[in-house]
Structure 1
Amino acid sequence: MLRALDIRDMLIIDRLELAFQPGLNVLTGETGAGKSILLDSLGFVLGWKGRAGQVRAGADSGEVVAEFDLPPAHPAHALLAEAGIPAEDGVVLRRTLSTEGRRTAYVNDRRASAELLRALSETLVELHGQHDDRGLLNPRGHRALLDSFAGVQDALAATRAAWSAQSAARRRLEAAEAALAEARAEEEFLRHAVEELDRVAPEPGEDAALDTRRRLLQGAERTGEDIARAGTALSAQGAEGAMLDALRWLEGAAETLEGRLDPALDALQRALAELGEAQAEVARCADALEVDPQELERVTERLFALRGLARKHNVLADALAGLADDLRARLAALDRSGAEIDTLRGDLAQAEADHAQAAEALGAARRAAATRLDTAMAAELAPLKLDRAVFTTDVAPAPPGPEGADAVQFLITTVAGQPPGPIDRIASGGELSRFLLALKVCLSGGGGATLIFDEIDRGVGGATADAVGRRLARLARGGQVLVVTHSPQVAAAGTHHWRVEKHERAGRTLSRVVPLGTDARIDEIARMLAGDTITDAARAAARALLAG
């Protein structure tokens, strides 16, 4: 609900503070008094497009502040939370305009963009009039309006969920098909690579072991020759023979020297024993170095094969075994992919069937609601002097989407035998206003927004104007409606009444808004009935209108 509107230095308003109330608020006044300025100023603070040069002549800048009550479940709370702006039970919008055209906006004293103002305005205010292209005349919103009237929130949620599941199934299938196409393109390479790797059968750590063995084998011939020469030097033809001769000679001499050679003989015996151990170790080493003459060739070929594969696949030799496992897994996935894609195609077909079923149920509910809406509109149009008009809610097939497979448009015809067409193209100005009022009455769901009707009663009077006023009052029950009107019947239906008037001050023409008490209200409605000269008969007629 719009709680307060504060306007400073806008057009012919220098300072204006209005405190609006729940129910039907009517604004009346002579043509040119400034009623449209109030709506222009409200539209400015809500981020709507406005007229140029709105700053009052002589002022440096203009400012409009609008304060709204926000019930706990009001949709504006989500927008404020997303923008990081705190809000409890209300929101204050403030927007300034300099003479150079700079616009600055604030929401609850936080700087805000015009986009946020416009998004908030969609939840705070509904403007209805002859140029109502933001609301009921916009065909893009007709389906949502019909859904609200039909109460199909559960069916709509089910359809959106089914569409989301269908979209996810399609994405999975497309990803699998793309992966399969990519795999098919390299299938020949994969099979050749796996065959080559399997033929070599690399093992982790094999490269280092082969390298060590190859170096050992490469040095084996030279090392073997040295060991053989050492073995000969230690044998009976070398050191061992010389030491045995020495032992034999010393033993012969020791018989005549009475034990003086015993230490030498003992040492020589020990040396011969050590020499025997050395001979055994050298022999064992020589045996170990005895290799197959072709082993070096085999080891070298194996090592070069591993390293060639590593270079080919741009990996380390020790990673070849893991690469082989990975390529085999990709081949296995390729072999399985046909069956997986068949499964995914089945999943998508089921998801499409589920969405089609949900969309059909939603469409049936919409078509039933369309019939009810058309009936309700027929009942509303007759009292509004549109009894020959026919309102039709057209529900036509549309490409499937998250909100079903229906296109909805409100159509009318005002001449018998003529095909129906869009409201804004068929109805005249006065008819259009009454169509919009009837449609709003039928679609009213108490969404929490303040409803504003700008001269929606233009071109009607008498019983028709009374019917307009009664419907506006009905819309205002439990909510808030602001109506700018020239009709005394509509003004009499209001629960709160303001008069917009001009006055002169210091040679300047300014606009002001005056709240009317009971007596002043009688006079204002009498003026609307009789003109500038208010008669007793006009006052009596005004009292009769106010009495209902």
Structure 2
Amino acid sequence: MLRSLDIRDLLIIDRLELAFRPGLNALTGETGAGKSILLDALGFVLGWRGRADLVRAGATQGEVVAVFDLPSGHAARAVLDEAGLDAGDELILRRVTTAEGRKTAWVNDRRVSAEVLRALSDVLVELHGQQDDRGLLNTRGHRALLDAFGGLEPQLDAVRAAWRERARAQQALAAAEVRLSALKAEEEYLRHAVGELDALAPRPGEEAELDARRRMMQAATRIREDIARAHAALGPGEGAEGRMGDALRWLEGAVGRAEGRLDAAVAALVRALAELGEAVHEVETAIEALDVDPAALETAEERLFAIRALARKHAVLPDDLGGFAEDLRARLAALDAGEGDLAALRQARDAAGAAYDAAAAGLSAARAAAAGRLDAAMAGELAPLKLDRAAFRTDIAEAESGPEGRDAVSFTVATNPGAPAGPLNRIASGGELSRFLLALKVCLARGASPLTLIFDEIDRGVGGATADAVGRRLAELSLTAQVLVVTHSPQVAARAAHHWRVEKRVTDGTTLSSVSALDAGARVDEIARMLSGDTITDEARAAARALLAG
């Protein structure tokens, strides 16, 4: 509910504070007094797009503050949460514009964009008038209005979920078909490459091992001859080992007669022969290890070169050939299993499509039933509004499938029996249109989330009993929602629970607009003025009291 509206230095308003109340609030006044300015100010603080020159002449900036009550569970709380704003029991919107046109907005003292204001306005306020392009006359929104009237949100959620699942299944199938097509295009390459890799079967680290072995075998052929010469020089016979053995035998034959002088020499030779024997053994081991088979060298080189060539061919490191082969095998396996996978994905797509069709058909049936209830409700509303010869119909036509079903919904009317039906804004006259919109809003508001409903001269073009019927319907609507009506109709104003008069005055050569809350006596005079004009007669006051008595 809109609790208050504080306007400063806007158009012809210098300072204005309005405290609105629940129920039906009427704003009346002479033409040009500034009633529309109040709506401009409210639209400005709600982020609506409007006129640019809002700042009062002579002022540097204009400001509007609107305070709303925010009950628990109100849809505005979700908007605030998404914007990262705190939500208390009241919502304070403030917007400032400078004379140069720079605009700044706050919500609960937090700076916000105009987009946040507009998102809040969608769940706080509805404006209706004879040129109502924001709501009921916009056929693009009729389906949503019918769904809200019928309470079809659960079915709508089910259709949206089924649509998403169908789209996901279709995308999965399309992606699989693209992948399979790409795999088929490289099938020959895959099979040849996997065959090559499987035939070679390289191991991680094998390239380094082969390279080391090859270098060792190449080096062995060059050093084996020198090692053999060293072995001959060290070994038995004419080698050092043989010569030292001979020397030891000769010394051992003489040691007994040398009276100890040869003992140390003999011991040293024994130790030297032991070390020399170890060296000869190691040399012999090295000779055996360096005994290279030319065929083995050729084999190692051929495998090393084959691994390196395959790595260059596929632009990978030699050690990565195994992983690369696994990737190719996986792609080949996907190719071989592709048709089976496609069959499963087609089955999933068809199942998702069938689920969507069933959900959409159920929603269409529910919409058809809701349309019948809405048409019946409208028939009951039109008669009191003196439109008993008119017919309202909710047309449902098949449309392209989408996340909200496959129905196109439009509200049509026929103003006279036998006349062709057509869109509201093309068939109805101004006065009829106002009443159609009011009747439709009364029907749609039942059970809807609480909004502040604003009707801008929706009673224009009607009078007498018809205006009284409009006032009664507005009063009925105000039982479930706060209603603000800008009106020139005394019959409508008399039905209000709260009444404000908008006046224009000239002070020191400056035109300013003011708004006054009317007490019981002032209401009589204001309604009498609306009945009789500038001169208020006793008869007009009596008629005003009769209207107020209802």
Tell me the TM-score normalized by structure 1. Answer: 0.94
Instruction: Indicate the SS of the match to 2:401.
Output: strand
What secondary structure does 2:384 align onto?
A: helix
Structure 1 residue 529 corresponds to structure 2 residue 531: yes
Give the deviation of 1:424 after TM superposition: 1.2
| Alignment check: 8 A CA contact 1:254 1:260 kept | yes
Question: What is aligned with 2:283?
Answer: 282
C-alpha separation in 1, matches of 2:262 and 2:101: 129
Q: C-alpha deviations, 1:454-482, integer Å up to 9, x for none?
A: 11111112221111111000100032101
Q: Conserved in 1, the CA contact under 8 Å of 2:456 and 2:485?
A: yes
Change (3 A) 1:474 1:281: same
Q: 1:480 maps to what in 2?
A: 482
Structure 1 stretch displaced more, 221-230 or 405-414: 221-230
Aligned residue identity for 1:390: A
Q: Structure 2: any 5+ residue segments left out of the alignment?
A: none
Task: State the shift of 1:533 in Å.
Answer: 2.9
- Find the aligned partners of 1:299 and 1:532 in 2 and give their Cα distance: 118
Listed as ranges, the matches of 1:86-97 within 5 Å are 86-97=86-97
Report if the CA contact (8 A) 2:457-2:488 is conserved.
yes
Cα pair distance change 1:290/1:530, threshold 3 Å: same
Match for residue 194 of structure 1?
A: 194
The answer as to whether partners of 1:25 and 1:482 remain within 8 angstroms in 2 is: yes
After TM superposition, the structure 1 = structure 2 runs for residues 309-324 of structure 1, keeping only pairs within 5 Å, are 309-324=310-325
| Preserved CA contact (<8 Å) 1:457 1:468 | yes
Aligned to 1:368: 369
Give the match for residue 398 of structure 2: 397
- Equivalent residue number for residue 469 of structure 2: 467
What's the offset of the Cα at 1:318?
1.9
Partner deviation per Cα, 1:475-499 (whole Å, 9 max, x = no partner): 0003210111111111111111111
**Is the 2:450–2:480 Cα contact (8 Å) retained in structure 1?**
no
What does residue 173 of structure 2 align with? 173
Secondary structure in structure 2 of the residue aligned to 1:27 = strand
Counterparts of 1:69 and 1:58, CA distance in 2: 34
Contact 1:33 1:511 in 2 (8 A): yes
Report the 3-state secondary structure (helix = DSSP H, G, I; strand = E; otherwise coil) of the residue aligned with 1:384. Answer: coil
1:163 maps to which residue? 163
Question: How far apart are 1:249 and its partner, in Å?
Answer: 5.6
User: Deviations along 1:488-515, whole A, 9 cap, x unmatched?
Assistant: 1111111111111222322333221111
Q: Distance in 2 between matches of 1:259 and 1:457?
A: 147
Paired position in structure 2 for 1:45: 45
Residues 283, 42 of structure 1: CA spacing in aligned structure 2 closer, same or farther, 3 A cutoff?
A: closer
Whether contact under 8 Å (2:236, 2:243) holds in the other structure is no
What is the correspondence of 1:259-408 to structure 2 with a 5 Å cutoff? Answer: 275-408=276-409
Task: Specify the code of the residue in structure 1 equivalent to 2:140.
Answer: R
CA spacing shift, 1:185–1:540, aligned 2, 3 Å: same
* Mapped pair 1:223 → 2:234: no
Q: Determine the structure 2 residue equivalent to 1:546.
A: 548
Q: Which amino acid aligns with 1:103?
A: K
- Corresponding residue of 1:508: 510
- Structure 1 range deviating more: 323-332 or 470-479: 323-332
Alignment partners' CA distance in 1, 2:87 and 2:259: 125
In 1, the alpha carbon distance for the partners of 2:272 and 2:513 equals 134
How far apart are 1:259 and its partner, in Å?
7.8
> Displacement, 1:130?
0.8
Alpha-carbon distance in structure 2 between the residues aligned to 1:478 and 1:365: 25
Measured against aligned partners, the alpha-carbon deviations of 1:21-50 in whole angstroms (never above 9, x if no partner) come to 000011112222221221122222222232
| Change in CA separation of 1:236 and 1:479 when aligned onto 2, cut-off 3 Å | same
Secondary structure at 2:460 match in 1: coil
Provide the alpha-carbon RMSD of the alignment: 2.3
Instruction: Please list the CA deviations of residues 52-81 of structure 1 after superposition, one character each: whole Å capped at 9, or x if unmatched.
Output: 433223333322221111111111112222
Offset at residue 436 of structure 1 (A): 0.3
- Cα 1:394–1:242 change in 2 (3 A) is same
The one-letter amino acid of 1:406's match is D
Query: Does the CA-based 8 Å contact 2:221-2:292 persist in structure 1?
Result: no
Give secondary structure in 1 for the equivalent of 2:237: coil
Q: Is the 8 A contact 2:169 2:349 kept in 1?
A: yes
Structure 2 counterpart of 1:450: 452
Deviation at 1:393, TM superposition (A): 0.6
Aligned to 2:128: 128
Select between 417-426 and 268-277 the one with higher mean Cα deviation: 268-277
The farther-off stretch of 354-363 and 95-104 is: 95-104
Q: Does 1:117 align with 2:103?
A: no
The range that moved more, 31-40 or 232-241, is: 232-241
CA distance, structure 1, for counterparts of residue 531 and residue 272 of structure 2:
148
Aligned partners of 2:271 and 2:363: how far apart in 1? 110
Point out the more displaced range, 130-139 or 518-527. Answer: 518-527
Verify the 8 A CA contact 1:29 1:499 in the aligned structure 2: yes
Secondary structure (helix, strand or coil) at the match of 1:510 reads strand
| SS at structure 2 position matched to 1:477 | coil
CA distance in 2 between partners of 1:524 and 1:245 (Å): 150
Q: 1:268–1:508: structure 2 CA closer, same or farther, 3 Å change rule?
A: closer
Residue of structure 1 in register with 2:208 after alignment = 208
In structure 2, the partner of 1:154 is 154
Greater shift after overlay, 142-151 or 510-519?
Answer: 510-519
CA distance 1:368–1:236, shift in 2 (3 Å): same
What whole-Å deviation, never above 9, does each CA across 1:379-436 have from its counterpart, x for those lacking one? 2112222222221111111111111111111111224444322111221211111110
The amino acid across from 2:405 in the alignment is: G
Structure 1 unaligned segments of length 5 or more: list them. Answer: none
1:512-542 deviations in whole A, cap 9, x for unaligned?
A: 1111111211222222222233333322222
Question: For residues 290 and 273 of structure 1, what CA distance do their matches in structure 2 show?
Answer: 26
Q: Secondary structure in 1 aligned to 2:368?
A: helix
Given that 1:22 and 1:478 are in contact with CA atoms closer than 8 Å, whether structure 2 keeps it comes out as no
Taking the aligned partners of 2:403 and 2:189, their CA distance within structure 1 comes to 43
Counterpart contact for 1:46–1:118, Cα < 8 Å = yes
Letter matched to residue 236 of structure 1: G
CA contact (8 A) 1:235 1:279 kept: no
The count of aligned residue pairs is 548
Measure how far apart 1:278 and its partner are.
4.5
Which residue type is aligned with residue 374 of structure 2? L
Distance 1:152 1:236, change over 3 A: same
Deviation at 1:276, TM superposition (A): 5.0
- 1:64–1:96 CA contact under 8 A, matched in 2: yes
Offset, 1:173: 1.9
Cα distance change on mapping 1:297 and 1:521 into 2, 3 Å:
same
- Secondary structure at 1:357's aligned position in 2? helix
Partner of 1:66 in structure 2?
A: 66
One-letter amino acid of the counterpart of residue 78, structure 1 = A
